[in-house]
Amino acid sequence: MKIGVLALQGAVREHVRQLEAAGATAVTVKHAKEFADLDGLVIPGGESTTISKLMREYQLTEPVLEMHRAGKPVFGTCAGLIMIAKQIDGQEDAHLGLMDVSVKRNAFGRQRESFEVEIPVKKVADDFQAVFIRAPYIEKAGEGVDVLAEVDGKIVAAQQGTLLGVAFHPELTEDIRFHAYFVELVRQSLAVSVR
Ligand SMILES: NC(=O)CC[C@H](N)C(=O)O
């Protein structure tokens, strides 16, 4: 199993380390030709406007959409969640527009720009240390979306089939359980496609 980490911006190495600790082979990717043999993709945090601009420059939008169409799991963290959302509050256009959620950027306000809180994450852990950095939250989720975690009544982690979106940074802790959950999702998708 080979999982790619989009290496345009953000905590790329940390994601690679967590995926490998969870038993996957992880590689950094930023050229279109590197996507074809991936079984899953992680889109790290950073600045969604910058990531989006770089994705267009490197012509990576279509390779990612193609992976999604082929049933390969995509995991977006923080700005990565904004990248996969179908709707962004206050913006006309979405970026990749894959997951049936509407997100609000920098949504926790100035006083709580960055914070950490231990929260239960459904199917992942009852005590996950969640690190938020100018994080978005999900303000609306469609019917097919499974809410995995909330903070102050705001959705901060969700899954829709092969799509996993998280407002915080599971790569910035030593806890590999979120990445292990994604690796398992990739494993399951391979079992289905090999059938
Ligand atoms: N840590 C992050 O990824 C922050 C996301 C960033 N505020 C954005 O809107 O894209």
15 is catalytic: no
Q: Please work out whether the CB of residue 44 comes within 6 Å of at least one atom of ligand 1.
A: no
Residue 195: pLDDT above 60? no
* Diameter over CA atoms, the chain: 50
Q: How far apart are CA 195 and CA 41, in angstroms?
A: 21
pTM: 0.96
Q: Residue 12 above 60 pLDDT?
A: yes
Pocket-testing residue among 9, 14, 47, 52, ligand 1, by greatest number of atoms within 8 A of Cβ: 47
CA of 58 to the centre of ligand 1 (A): 20
78 is catalytic: yes
pLDDT of res. 194: 60
Strand segments (E) across 80-153: 85-88, 99-104, 114-121, 125-133, 137-141, 146-151
- Letter string b/e over residues 134-164, b meaning 16 or more CB atoms within 10 A of that residue's CB: bbbbbeebeeebeebbbbeebbbbbbbbbbb
Complex confidence, ipTM = 0.94
| Ligand 1 contact, 18 CB (< 6 A) | no
Residue 112: pLDDT band (50, 70, 90) is confident
State the distance from the centre of ligand 1 to the C-alpha of 55, rounded, in angstroms.
16
Cβ neighbours of residue 76 closer than 8 Å, sequence gap 6 or more: 42, 43, 82, 83, 84, 99, 163, 164, 165, 166
Q: What residue owns the CA closest to ligand 1's atom 6?
A: 47
Residue with CA at minimum distance from ligand 1 atom 9? 105
**DSSP calls for 137-192:** EEEEE-TTPEEEEEETTEEEEEEETTEEEESS-GGGSS--HHHHHHHHHHHHHHHH
- Which amino acid, one-letter code, is at 94? A
Distance CA 26, CA 7 (A): 12
Q: What is the distance, to the nearest Å, from the Cα of residue 140 to the centroid of all Cα atoms in its chain?
A: 17
**Using 50, 70 and 90 to split pLDDT, how confident is the model at 19?**
very high
> Does the annotation mark 174 as catalytic?
no
- pLDDT band at residue 1, thresholds of 50, 70 and 90? very high
pLDDT at position 193, please? 72
Q: Considering only residues 134 and 111, tell me which one the structure prediction assigns the higher pLDDT.
A: 134
Residue ranges for the known binding site for L-glutamine are 46-48, 105, 133-134
Average pLDDT taken over every residue of the chain:
96
pLDDT above 80 (res 186): yes
- Write out pLDDT tens, residues 61-76: 999 999 999 999 999 9
**Domains (ranges, CATH) in the chain?**
2-194 (3.40.50.880)
- When pLDDT is averaged across residues 107-123 and rounded to a whole number, the result is 91
**Mutation choice for ligand 1 from 52, 134, 137, 168, CB with most ligand atoms inside 8 A:** 134
Share of the chain above pLDDT 70, in %: 98
